[in-house]
Amino acid sequence: MPSRLSPHTSARNSGWASCSALAGAALLALTGCVGGTSSAPTAATANTNPLAYYQLQGNTDYIHDPTIIRQGTNYYVLSTDGGQGGNLPIYCSPDKINWTRCGQVFSSPPPEVLAVFPTLTSLWAPDVSYFNGLYHVYYAASGFGGNKSLLGLATSPTMNPTDPNYHWTDQGIVLSSTTASNFNAIDPNILVDTDSSGNLTHVWLTYGSFWNGIDQQEINPVTGMLLNPATPAVNIASRVSNSTNNPIEGASLVKHDGYYYLFASFGACCNSVFTTDTYQIAVGRGTSPQGPFLDMSGTSMLNGGGTILLSTSGEFTAPGGEMVYIDPVGGDTITYHALSDNQNGLDYLFVNALTWPNDWPVITTAP
């Protein structure tokens, strides 16, 4: 089988924390390791495990760090590049089950990205959102093991590739980090915040990986760029002692029923031996988009907290790179990737329903 995709680990270390793979089709959330020694609280269990069997059809492999959005009756997933051709490939589905490849954002990396990374062939970790009459795709460009990175932006008036108005416009670089920075400019995520009447109030850009953890800055809703570039970022999540054995990345911030929920990927991703990956999905919640985000035991995600939602189980290893999509029409959804043990760690797309019993999220198998 094809070898696995390895898109975006920001720091490598032989001392990765390891978690025991716990089996059992009745488990939804499994107790995972935090820092290799301590454990995090786990969310409520459900009747089935999303990783116990695979239910999607069509083009669903080689998909890493997916993001999802609905336009009309169709759903669109974008992914990190890797084996599919094109930069930031796009997949389409009428039902979140059957997926076909339907395009890409770029045919090659934009010139301003190549000016920073002349040999770059792959863009990472896109995030798709809609505001100011346009679909916005933020993406990352970087190299393995370092924090010389950047976040770029492309926009289109529609996601539908058959619409005559369909066209992705390169909007340039939003922010960047260097080897002298204390953060890593990858894994972008947008929250379009609204008031009780549904009017836009703020657009929040959440990003980061390893180093100081997860940062946040505000976006100008008209330009899609930073609202106040000189304003320092707000750090909203990190791991204990900022150790490379406690990585955090892949954040997704959403608002539901008066709370803000910060989802993140804990653990090791993209090791050369995929069975040593310890990726797992965690969450905390708060009453402000800038936190603090507390787990179910009351520990802040700035102090090592995070309620584990999903960990390795059965055939599939290291779920992560998640994005949560609040959809009042089609139902709230979480999309992520996981690695098939039966196919040498091949990256697969997962699209699952997200429910909120007692105002805490639970992943269920049905999309």
CA distance 111 to 141: 12
Annotated catalytic residue, options 61, 81, 249, 347:
249
Is 65 tagged catalytic?
yes
Residues 348 and 339 sit within 8 Å (Cβ to Cβ):
yes
Selection from 262, 236, 264, 269 nearest residue 250 by Cα: 264
CA distance 113 to 123: 9
Q: Tokens 């309620």 identify what position?
A: 307
Q: Which residues contact 252 (CB under 8 A, 6 or more apart)?
A: 189, 206, 262, 263, 264, 322, 323, 324
Is 322 tagged catalytic?
no
Selection from 339, 337, 367 nearest residue 126 by Cα: 337
- At residue 215, what are phi and psi to the nearest 5 degrees? -115, 170
Q: How far is CA 235 from the centre of its chain?
A: 17
Query: Distances from the Cα of 320 to the Cαs of 159, 187, 311, 336, in angstroms?
Result: 25, 12, 9, 5
Which residues are identified as catalytic? Answer: 65, 249
